[in-house]
Amino acid sequence: MIEHLTIPRGPIELAADLHRPDAHDGTVPLPAVVLSTPGSSVKEQIGANYASRLAAAGFAALVFDPAHQGRSGGEPRDLEDPYRRGEDISYAVDVLDTLPGIDAERIGVLGICAGGGYAVHTARTDHRIKAVGVVVPGDMGASFRAFQPDGPVAGLDALADVRRAENRAGAPDRESWLPDTLEEAAEVGLTDIDTTQAITYYRTGRGRHENSTNLRLRRGDALLVGYDPFHLVEELLTQPLQVVLAGRRGNTGSYESGMRLWELAPNPVDLMVIEGAGHYEMYDEPVHVDAAVARLVAFYSAYLRIDDQVSATTRRGSERRGRQPSSAVIRE
């Protein structure tokens, strides 16, 4: 069951879909999970794949288009601002706080790819979020610093020139996230498996959606270059953490980001590595998504409840470093 919602966000609104269990009649408040999706994606894509499965398992799952993207409001369009992406999550929690049929004391977050970094960054300081799950989490700051061929400082100098030229021309500069076709990718030498799988997902009938423009406003790139989604995680992210990674490492950096997060977090619960899966195969390949969701359902079922045992576990985890995780790495 999907309910179309709008999320008030200051002067604009975010377009959202709330997935609920089909049999839910509203009499018993549900635990809820807010989904934070990959960069360039819209709510009907990866987020819907995970939200529908969480709803089938008994959770309310709220997925939304980020501000400036998809069907959400916000000008200029196609802006990928990591700080606003984090704020979007808190605005989504605001809605769940007052929505009938939702238990406001049992709200978690699930971040996928870039959304994983945004989810962690938000949960550090929004402690209405009681449990944090990530799937192939991306560190967009590290990625965009690595994208600068002459280093991040030279990259920021170049981006300053881009913005200056935008202001003088009176028109924003946009760049494609990906080549539109495999042929275009091959022409510029992008033939690695991650790029080809990203194009196959986002730019073909497999995962393409009309509201996903594949465009990014260049002025947002400077914000991404200076972004660290895991800043102060070791001090502030006291919530229990579930990490799900793809076992085949590629050029997305999500395996490395996930392991860094696992080591930094003061209260990690479970680390799952799905062998044989690639980053983009975690978006929609049923065998991999089902495995990830099964582990996430067990995690949220355990930690989106209010009792003294869970609260004590969270406190103990936040007080100690050099800890042993409650579950070893699981390879599926």
CATH number at residue 288: 3.40.50.1820
Phi, psi of 30 (to 5 degrees): -95, 145
* Tens digit of each residue's pLDDT (9 = 90 or more) over 115-157: 999 999 999 999 999 999 999 999 999 999 999 999 999 999 9
- Whether residue 199 has pLDDT greater than 70: yes
pLDDT band at 330 (very low <50, low <70, confident <90, very high): low
Residue 23: the pLDDT is: 86
**Is 291 inside any structural domain?**
yes
**Is 282 inside any structural domain?**
yes
The total number of structural domains that make up the chain: 1
249: which 2 tokens? 């490492």
**Is 130 inside any structural domain?**
yes
* Tens digit of each residue's pLDDT (9 = 90 or more) over 82-101: 999 999 999 999 999 999 99
Mean pLDDT across the chain, nearest whole number?
A: 93
Residue 321: the pLDDT is: 40
**Is 36 inside any structural domain?**
yes
- Alpha helices in 111-250, H assignment, sequence order: 114-123, 140-147, 152-169, 182-187, 193-202, 219-225, 233-236
- Whether residue 71 has pLDDT greater than 70: yes
- The half-sphere exposure of 130 on its side-chain side, counting CA atoms within 13 A, is 21
**Is 221 inside any structural domain?**
no
